[in-house]
Structure 1
Amino acid sequence: MIEKVQETVAGRMERPYALNQAIVACRPGGTISLPGVFVGGVPTMMGAFVGKGLTLRTGQTHVQRYLEPLMRRIEDGQIDPSFLITHKIKLEDGPDAYKMFQEKNDGCIKVVINP
């Protein structure tokens, strides 16, 4: 079953260019932090990684731990996340928006769907 999930999801969700950009941008001896959820393999510039003597720190994103305090700060006006929203769409435009987000077309970062 897990192989089928990896076959279906890998290459769609994993973004190897982000990790490779971090490797190129990181100073020699530096540390790259990679929080999140990964299913499949990620092609990586191991030559540059090893050549720079980098350290990779990983772990799951602590959504449950931080969601409530972050939402409180947003509600209190301490944080304004609206700069992340690049597209606002109607519900019926959802399938096209998923494709746009997946392919990173039109500068798509965050989509808000208004039913």
Structure 2
Amino acid sequence: MQEQILAMTKGAGPDAVIEAVGLESHGATTAQSVASAVMGAVTSFERPFALNQAILACRPGGTVSMPGVFVAQVGPIALGALMQKGLTLRTGQTHMLRYMRPLLDLILAGRLRSDSIITHRAKLEDGPELYEAFRAKREGCIKVMMTPHAG
């Protein structure tokens, strides 16, 4: 993936990278992912695979934004790359109460289409099995729209 990003940006890397995965950050088998798995087994550390990918992908002097959810200690992080590149790290969860009503109004007015990001529609009780499909990257599951009532 890193090679693709560098090719797309003529070797510079993107100006900004958003790490929106947070707590559910699981990655391919790399030295860093193995170290994270070991730390997670021994302590309550979360695995920052997506955060490390964001740091490595971002161009020097760029910005890494982290609106994802982290609830415990995180480690190991590519702190050396973060420092050497002089990256700006922005954090904080999205203020959903502020944005939900305006976004819903745009959708209802037909000015914003949400169907292009919804890959699955289901009843609320199907949530646990669809979460497993999402986590395992099965069936192209990216975003699920759930309805609270069957019918």
Partner of 2:23: 13
1: CA distance, partners of 2:73 / 2:137: 20
Task: Give the superposition deviation at 1:27.
Answer: 0.8
Percent identity over the alignment is: 56
CA distance in 2, matches of 1:112, 1:68: 17
1:37–1:61 CA contact under 8 A, matched in 2? no
Q: Structure 1 regions of 5+ residues with no counterpart?
A: 1-11
Q: How does 1:67-82 map to 2 (within 5 A)?
A: 67-82=100-115
Mean Cα displacement is larger for which, 33-42 or 68-77? 33-42
Whether 1:85 aligns to 2:95 is no
Residue 92 of structure 1: how far off its partner (Å): 5.2
Q: Is the 8 A contact 2:119 2:140 kept in 1?
A: yes
Where is the helix percentage greater, Structure 1 or Structure 2? 1
Q: TM-score normalised to the size of structure 1?
A: 0.75
Which consecutive residues of structure 2, in runs of 5 or more, have no partner in the other structure?
Answer: 1-21, 26-47
Structure 2 counterpart of 1:38, which letter?
Answer: F
Residue of structure 2 equivalent to 1:29: 61
Aligned to 1:4: none
For 1:35 and 1:91, how far apart are their aligned partners in 2?
25
1:65 CA displacement: 0.6
CA spacing shift, 1:51–1:60, aligned 2, 3 Å: same
Aligned residue for 2:94, secondary structure, equals: coil
**How many correspondences in the alignment?**
104
> 4+ residue stretches of structure 1 with deviation over 4 A?
none
Q: Identify if the C-alpha distance between structure 1 residues 90 and 14 changes in structure 2 by more than 3 Å, giving closer, same or farther.
A: closer
| Shift in alpha-carbon separation, 1:23–1:52, aligned structure 2, 3 A | same
Q: TM-score with structure 2 length normalisation?
A: 0.59
DSSP 3-state at the match of 2:112:
coil
Give secondary structure in 2 for the equivalent of 1:105: coil
1:57 to 87, 90, 101: 90
